[in-house]
Amino acid sequence: MKILVATKATQGKRTNDFSFATEGEPVMIPVMECDGEPVDGHCGCRRAMAELESHSATTTVKVVERDLTPRRLELLIRKSWQQAGWAKLVGARIEGHARDEAQRLIRLAQAMRLHGVYGRRGESMEFRGMGSAEDAAVDAGVPR
Ligand SMILES: [Zn+2]
């Protein structure tokens, strides 16, 4: 299924871009955002996506096809929250929240172009162009 992963592609297109991310790592919307933070604010939380494993942030993501199921994505999100210490905040309803978050990400990716590179802008995703064919081969697990 289509998911969003971190990419450094198009970094710098906006002057306040940042990416501490590992290329190709699955991302989600951060658990918390600052109250009243503008998209281009100092924190960056409203233009960032958070990596599931390394918990790093990136303003740029790419849509790829991965051998994942909604259930597997849900479990990855839950594990990420537990590792990063968010589980306590999310509380006893973590399973339901993780399922909702997985569904939200899947719906988001579904509406985006496969191999498209996007920058997060608050509640919307800004299309920045198509990823290279070389990237596409990596996505599909095709050896170079
Ligand atoms: Zn913030």
Q: Determine the residue type at 71.
A: R
Question: Both tokens of residue 123?
Answer: 């509640």
Helix H or strand E encompassing 6: strand 2-6
Question: Both tokens of residue 40?
Answer: 């281009």
Say how many Å lie between the CA of residue 50 and the centre of ligand 1: 12
73 in Cβ contact with 101 (< 8 Å): no
The candidate with the shortest Cα–Cα distance to 75, out of 95, 50, 104, is 95
Write down the pTM of the prediction.
Answer: 0.89
Say how many Å lie between the CA of residue 86 and the centre of ligand 1: 15
* Domain-located, residue 64: yes
pLDDT tens-place values along the chain, 144 residues long: 999 999 999 999 999 999 998 999 999 999 889 999 999 999 999 999 999 999 999 999 999 999 999 999 999 999 999 998 888 887 878 889 999 999 999 999 999 999 999 999 999 999 999 987 666 555 555 554
**Cα 97 → chain centroid:** 17
Say how many Å lie between the CA of residue 69 and the centre of ligand 1: 30
User: How many domains, the chain?
Assistant: 1
Say how many Å lie between the CA of residue 114 and the centre of ligand 1: 29
* Domain-located, residue 144: no
Q: Which domain holds residue 26?
A: 2-139
Distance between CA atoms of residues 91 and 80, nearest Å:
14
* Domain-located, residue 83: yes
Say how many Å lie between the CA of residue 135 and the centre of ligand 1: 31
* Domain-located, residue 19: yes
60 in Cβ contact with 118 (< 8 Å): yes
* Domain-located, residue 53: yes
* Domain-located, residue 45: yes
Phi and psi torsions of 95, nearest 5°: -60, -45
Say how many Å lie between the CA of residue 68 and the centre of ligand 1: 30
Neighbours of ion ligand 1 (CB under 5 A): 34, 37, 43, 45
The candidate with the shortest Cα–Cα distance to 117, out of 62, 79, 55, is 62
Say how many Å lie between the CA of residue 129 and the centre of ligand 1: 27
